[in-house]
């Protein structure tokens, strides 16, 4: 089941991929997203979603954890491992409300987590919020260069180490963006969590540590710029 509606009006409408094995849920989500002018592609299983990804890149994915042919966690991991797809934001949409499932989803790179049953209006608000914070920034934004190694482009959401592009997830980029807002300042894990998921207090400090570890692995020679201050938090500093 794959449908697409192009909304009226100028400009490029965000394309949201909804992956869920419940046709009623897909219909409910699609109707409310399309009312806001978004385009929607609908998938009842992982295989049809993977086929779509071979040629297209959505602006956001709404992903159920319980799919008939795959675990949603594995689908999210697939997206995060792909250079072409790693920056696509993901919102987990699932009936699994256990804390361990929610934390796991966010640690593997999901940008948000919504449990069923849900309010369609709240879901649309979450989608808009994630698209705002992961989409193109206003023209006055700039590049931040640290230590002659690391470049963070706040306009294009690109990261480079010694001129070489580094693929990071949207969550990882936002951590760098936050730390780079005041280089040399120490930000506590709680402050970082508030910046990332202010509405979702169930996320733990460990989630920040997991994302920082992934960032250091990707930054290579520039990993030393991302410093841990014992008992205080993290900072970016040359």
Which domains are delineated in the chain? Answer: 15-134 (3.40.50.2300), 143-236 (1.10.10.10)
Rounded mean pLDDT, 101-105: 65
pLDDT of 200 reads 55
What does the alpha-carbon distance between residue 55 and residue 220 come to, in Å, rounded to a whole number? 30
pLDDT of 203 reads 60
Percent with pLDDT over 90 in the chain: 45
* 46-53 helix and 72-81 helix, angle to the nearest 10 degrees: 10
Select, from the ranges 15-29, 83-97, 209-223, the one with the highest average predicted confidence (pLDDT): 15-29
Rounded mean pLDDT, 200-206: 62
Does 21 or 193 have the greater pLDDT score? 21
Check if the beta carbon of residue 196 is closer than 8 Å to that of residue 171: yes
Select, from the ranges 50-59, 111-120, 204-213, the one with the highest average predicted confidence (pLDDT): 50-59
* Predicted confidence band of residue 105 (pLDDT cuts 50, 70, 90): low
pLDDT of 30 reads 96
* Predicted confidence band of residue 93 (pLDDT cuts 50, 70, 90): confident
* DSSP output for 17-46: EEE-S-HHHHHHHHHHHHHTT-EEEEESSH
Check if the beta carbon of residue 229 is closer than 8 Å to that of residue 192: no
Largest CA distance in the chain: 53
223 φ, ψ (degrees, to nearest 5): -60, -30
- Residue 41 pLDDT more than 90? yes
């Amino acid at each position: 089941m794959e449908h697409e509606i192009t909304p009226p009006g100028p400009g490029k409408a965000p394309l949201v991929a909804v992956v869920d094995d419940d046709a009623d849920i897909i219909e409910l989500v699609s109707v409310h997203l399309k009312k806001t002018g978004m385009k929607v592609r609908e998938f009842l299983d992982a295989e049809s979603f993977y086929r779509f990804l071979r040629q297209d890149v959505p602006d956001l994915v709404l992903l159920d954890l319980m799919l008939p042919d795959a675990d949603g966690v594995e689908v999210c991991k697939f997206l995060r491992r792909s250079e072409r797809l790693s920056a696509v934001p993901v919102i987990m949409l699932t009936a699994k409300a256990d804390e361990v499932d929610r934390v796991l989803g966010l640690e593997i790179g999901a940008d948000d987590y919504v449990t069923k049953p849900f309010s369609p209006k709240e879901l649309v608000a979450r989608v808009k919020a994630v698209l705002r914070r992961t989409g193109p920034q206003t023209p006055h934004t700039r590049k931040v260069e640290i230590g002659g190694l690391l470049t963070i482009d706040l306009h294009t959401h690109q990261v480079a180490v010694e001129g070489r592009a580094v693929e990071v997830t949207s969550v990882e980029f936002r951590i760098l963006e936050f730390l780079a807002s005041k280089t040399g300042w120490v930000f506590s894990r709680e402050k970082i969590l508030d910046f990332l998921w202010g509405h979702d207090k169930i996320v733990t400090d460990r989630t920040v540590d997991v994302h920082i570890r992934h960032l250091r692995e990707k930054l290579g020679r520039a990993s030393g710029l991302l410093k841990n201050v014992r008992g205080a938090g993290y900072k970016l500093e040359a």
